[in-house]
Amino acid sequence: MPQAVVFDLDYTLAVPRRDRATILEEATTATGAPSLTRESYLEAHRRNLTSETREPIFADLLKDSESDADPAAVATAYRETISEDLEPLPGVEAMLAGLHGKYRVGLLTNGPVRAQRDKLETLGWTDAFDAALVTGELEAGKPDPRAFEAIVGELGVDPADAVYVGDEIEADVRGATEAGLRAIQVLLEDGPGPDPRAVAHVEQTEIAALLPEIVADLE
C-alpha cells in the first residue's frame, strides 16, 4: 500500500476560469508585448524550469522580437492575471484533507518559484501538503528524476512507496515512473489518451470522487 501521494498542481488540482491563451494575450496586450502563442510559451517554459520568476521565460520569447516590452513586466502581469483566475477543481480540498492521516501528501509542480507559490497562496493551500516543492527551487524540473527524488526525500518515503498524480505524459507519467514512483494519469477532456505506464487513470472531473479509492486499491 502506498505511503505517500504526490500531486501535480496545474490541471490536476486547480484550473484557470479562462483558457491560458486568453490570459497570455491579456498580459502581453497590457504590457505592450507582441502577441505570443500558447505553444511558444510552453516551449520556453520547459526551457526555464528552475528560476525565481517567469522573467527568463519571457526574455526567451522576446529576444528575437523588435519589442521594447520589459520581460519582467510581462511576467508580473501574467502571474497576477493567472492568480486571479485560478480555482480548485470541485471537491479536491476535501479530498486532500481526507488523504491526510492515511498517507503523506505532497506537491511537486513545474515552474518559477514566485508564480507557483503565489498560486498556492491564492488557493489558500500553503499548509495543505506535508511537503510542497516548486521546481524553480530545485536543480531540475520534471521529468528529471532529481525533482521526484527531492519530493520523496522531503516526505521521508522511498520512491516505490509513493504515487504521483498528474496530467502530462512526459513530465508526470514518464518522469514519475522513471524515478521509481507509480503514476496515476489525470485525463483531460482535450488531452492525451491513457498512457500504459500509468498504474491507473482518472478523468479530471472525477479526481476528487475517485482518486482516494484508486490509491487505496493499489498494493
| E strand or H helix at 5 | strand 4-7
SS3 call for 42: helix
Residue 187 phi/psi, 5-degree rounding, is: -95, 120
| E strand or H helix at 183 | strand 182-187
Q: What is the pLDDT, as a whole number, of residue 66?
A: 85
Distance CA 150, CA 139 (A): 9
Name residue, grid cell 508564480: 115
Grid cell, residue 7, equals 500531486
Q: What is the pLDDT, as a whole number, of residue 51?
A: 83
- Across residues 25-39, what is the average pLDDT? 94
CB 5 within 8 A of CB 160: no
CB 113 within 8 A of CB 137: yes
Q: What is the pLDDT of residues 177-216, one digit of tens each?
A: 999 999 999 999 988 999 999 999 999 999 999 999 999 9
Q: What is the pLDDT, as a whole number, of residue 85?
A: 87
Q: What is the mean pLDDT of the chain?
A: 95
Residue 138 CA, distance from chain mean position: 14
> CB atoms < 10 A from the CB of 159, how many?
19
Distance CA 116, CA 130 (A): 17
Confidence of residue 20 (pLDDT cuts 50, 70, 90): confident
